[in-house]
Amino acid sequence: MVHRRRHSSRTVAGVGGVVIPFPVPRASGSDYNGAAMHPEPARSAKPIGPFMLGDWEVRPRHNELVSEQETRHLEPKAMDLLVFMTSSAPEVVSKNAIIDSVWEGRIISEGTLTNTIAELRRALGDDARHPRYIETIPKRGYRLVAAVEPVSSSTADNAQASPPQSRTILVIAVAAVLLAVAVVVTFVLQTRGRPLDPELVLVGPFVNRTGDESFDAAALLARDRLVTKLSDSGLARAVQANIDQPDDVIDSLCSAARASRAGLAVGGTLYLHEGQVEVQARLVDVRESALLYAIPASITDRDRISEALDQVVQRTVGVIATHLHSHAHFQLMSHVPVFEAYQEFIAGSELFAVDPIASINHLERAVELDPNFTSAKFRLSVAYRNGGRQAAGAGVLARLDERRPVLTDFERLWLDYFLAGQENRRRDGLALLRRIEDIVPDDLVVQHLISGNASALNRPRESIAAASAVIGEKAFLSVANNPLFVKDFLRCATSHHILGNHSEELRTARSGLEVFPTNHDLLVAEARALTALGDEMGFEEVTARALSTDTGLTPANLLIEAAATARAHGRPDLARELARRALTPLDDRADPNKAFVEGWLRAQALVLADALDQAQLVLETVRSMKDGGTAFQSLGVDGWLGTVAARRGDLETAHSIDSALAGIYGSQRRGWPAHYRAAIAAWLGHRNQAMELLSQSRAEGWGSFYYFHDIHRVLFEPLEGMDEYEALLHPDG
């Protein structure tokens, strides 16, 4: 299933499945730094009165920024962060100190802090590259650089002159009357007009309808266990409903909830059937006085009532977690998970993009705890596939397919989508996503998946539309610290590159860098757009940033891809210069542990510099490294070696590599062997055969069309001008 977060907290990664946050209970001790494992000195008390920050008057009590032209509103956490930084200005404040103070010790991802900083910068009109308000200090934290001044009382006095003394008594009298009226109105409307808190849950005592008074204690125990479990989980705040005569009618439950301002309410009932006890529970929307979900009942023997209560508590908290921190898809699911399975699912989802093995362990545990947890099974199947365990992933989907009759229509659509993905049927996958979109049109993850599938089908305009629907939504900030969603900026930028819209490509890359400031791929996209636009000064600035930004990746590929862009835009001299420059960081940052990847990059740079003899020697050396790269990287080295050999006229090597690639089968290769064979055929002069092989690669699942506008453009230069190839370069979709 696909879910969306409703508010800011901790967010987890996800692919082709659920994106759900899970807030963790705060650490004990306000000065305890859980991330660094040592205490930091407490900061000074934060100011609450208005103050001037550069051109803005900051009003913390109202979460407002006020200038002469406009008033801008901040989210409360953004204002808390600004106030905290002000209390420390002009000193640098570490990320740990900010998290401990502003988020009060809660465990959050670093992306949450980054997003809040980005929100502040947008509101202040600041630029991360040329900061006037907030400066990023690499590896240390942030610093407030704008001048901070208190708003003087004289300023406030001048803003509104004092009324004449003759009017003072009248003003006071009128104010007194208005105050009295306000008190009366407030008293009358306090249980009817006050806004309800959507994350406050009223838990009522369960109603004992067994006819046996001995179960009265169990009814109260059910309420107490629910309150404790909810409070410990950190999902929501829970409040007990102390009702003298418990009533399981929804209207009565909602009336008690409104008095406590709770937006949700939970009630339950105990029944007795043929000597067994049945425990039921329900989640109610207080505002609408409507049943949200009837929790599946737990039936057990009389002497095992405690176990039944625990089962219902687990299921109820799972329902609340899904409701509060997910899309409303739970109403479209055949089963809502028990809470312990939900927790494991969250842990596995968070690790999905960064630690596949650990992710699989958590997802397997989620399925073990709740075998009917469909979303966890979908996610697990993708995790297996991404980890090279295609048979295991296919097995998960096959077992789900056996349960197809008990799945909802919504779940069956998702099952068919994942089955299509397993078989590389991209067109079918996109069609299924469009049907899912009709059901949940505002879901960010569905749009994310549509963008990816459209891109893989060489439909750049369709990909841009879907990606823009993700990154253009206000709700995007709620998932922006998820590394998965950087792909939407990248797909949008590369799709604009394919269409030749390089100004939009540049704008998109820079927008992405505001959210993901250290993402190397976005720096590459920015550099590529600047190269296409001929902005040499801007390109040099990005190159310097890439060299100084610790992204964990070599900056050589930025120069290599810029060289490929220059070559594709008819500037071969610039391409050769950039390619030669790419060799310098590879020499300076040579890492024995990355010899395979760095050797491959070196060979690509040498090809773009037209140093083919050296390129082939490097590729042959890299190819001889056993277990140096992934299966796809090894395919890439073979493909480049075969293509370079064909260009040099080394027919023996070219044919040998072609034969080796022809012997590689399997859907897990996703058409890459045929793709590289097409490049070899092109340089051997077999252009029609090359186009046939490109068609074969597409049929086998290849879908990385942006490579034709990037580093792979040089591999297929002999096909330039062919109508079929030009149609791939300039698609209509």
pLDDT at 48 over 80: no
Contacts of 10 (CB under 8 A, 6+ apart): 21, 22, 23, 24, 106, 107, 108, 109, 112, 350
Half-sphere exposure of 199 toward its Cβ, with a 13 Å CA cutoff? 16
Pairing of strands 276-285, 290-301: antiparallel
At 329, is the pLDDT very low, low, confident or very high (cuts 50, 70, 90)? low
At 321, is the pLDDT very low, low, confident or very high (cuts 50, 70, 90)? confident
Q: Tokens in use for 269?
A: 């009932």
Distance CA 160, CA 49 (A): 18
pLDDT: which is higher, 310 or 168: 310
pLDDT at 322 over 80: no
Mean pLDDT across the stretch 291-320?
85
Mean pLDDT across the stretch 117-131?
82
pLDDT at 336 over 90: no
Distance CA 563, CA 548 (A): 20
Task: Report pLDDT digits (tens) over 98-114.
Answer: 877 887 655 454 556 77
Task: Report pLDDT digits (tens) over 369-379.
Answer: 989 889 889 98
Contacts of 341 (CB under 8 A, 6+ apart): 318, 365, 366, 367, 369, 370, 373, 376
Mean pLDDT across the stretch 212-231?
88
SS3 category, 270: strand
pLDDT at 552 over 60: no
Query: Is this structure's pTM higher than 0.95?
Result: no
SS3 category, 9: coil
Mean pLDDT across the stretch 442-454?
88
CA 582 vs CA 127, 335, 587: distances in Å: 29, 53, 9
Task: Report pLDDT digits (tens) over 5-16.
Answer: 333 333 322 323
With left for phi above 0 and alpha for psi between -120 and 50, is residue 689 left, alpha or beta?
alpha
* Cβ atoms of residues 141 and 93 within 8 Å: yes
At 650, is the pLDDT very low, low, confident or very high (cuts 50, 70, 90)? very high
Report residue 443 CA to chain centroid gap: 13
pLDDT at 193 over 80: no
pLDDT at 184 over 50: no
* Cβ atoms of residues 40 and 30 within 8 Å: no
Task: Report pLDDT digits (tens) over 23-43.
Answer: 222 233 333 222 333 333 334
pLDDT of residue 77: 79
Across all residues in the chain, what is the average pLDDT? 79
